[in-house]
């Protein structure tokens, strides 16, 4: 039973949780462009990366659309959202979890009685920002924007 839930338990560690969040967030960002939002909510569990690529091909008419391109779109979108928030004055201090996330989980599953401590959050943010290629304060770098083809935002 423990082996079956090993991936869940690994995600509960600081490093594992941040890796999981980063790995799962980019694909989510990739399937959220306006042309794919019609299958949001409960339907998200009915399709995976391959189906998302097929939908993007069908909607755009581009038969050579790839998963890598969708992931790149997702990363660009996430960084544009981050740029907008920074422009509006939001930075690391705004990256906070609701208090509910700091409460001990109840129940009988593999995460029962697990608690995220307030001390873990800054470490998780550091790791997340590093993985995203941002500064320690969560700011975008000119190198990151240029690498994503978003250098034009530097003059805005």
Distance, CA of 107 to CA of 128 (rounded, Å): 29
What number is the average pLDDT over the span 102-106? 82
37 has pLDDT over 80: no
Arithmetic mean of pLDDT over the chain: 76
What number is the average pLDDT over the span 130-144? 91
- Percent above pLDDT 90 for the chain: 16
Distance, CA of 76 to CA of 90 (rounded, Å): 18
Query: What domains are defined for the chain?
Result: 6-155 (1.10.599.10)
**Dihedral sign (CA 146, 150, 152, 155):** negative
12 has pLDDT over 60: no
What is residue 38's predicted lDDT score, i.e. its pLDDT?
A: 47
Distance, CA of 70 to CA of 67 (rounded, Å): 5
Rank 12-26, 44-58, 104-118 by mean pLDDT and report only the highest: 104-118
């Amino acid at each position: 039973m423990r082996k079956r839930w090993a991936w869940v338990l690994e995600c509960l560690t600081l490093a594992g949780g941040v890796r999981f969040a980063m790995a799962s967030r980019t694909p989510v960002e990739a399937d959220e462009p306006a042309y794919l939002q019609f299958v949001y909510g409960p339907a998200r569990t009915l399709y995976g990366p391959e189906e998302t690529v097929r939908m993007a091909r069908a909607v755009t008419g581009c038969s050579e659309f790839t998963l890598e391109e969708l992931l790149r779109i997702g990363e660009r979108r996430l960084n544009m959202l981050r740029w907008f928030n920074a422009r509006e004055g939001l930075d690391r201090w705004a990256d906070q979890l609701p208090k509910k996330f700091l409460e001990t989980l109840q129940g009988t599953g593999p995460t029962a009685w697990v608690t995220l401590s307030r001390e873990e959050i800054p470490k998780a943010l550091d790791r997340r920002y590093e993985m995203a290629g941002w500064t320690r304060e969560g700011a975008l770098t000119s190198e990151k924007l240029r690498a994503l083809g978003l250098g034009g935002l530097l003059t805005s």
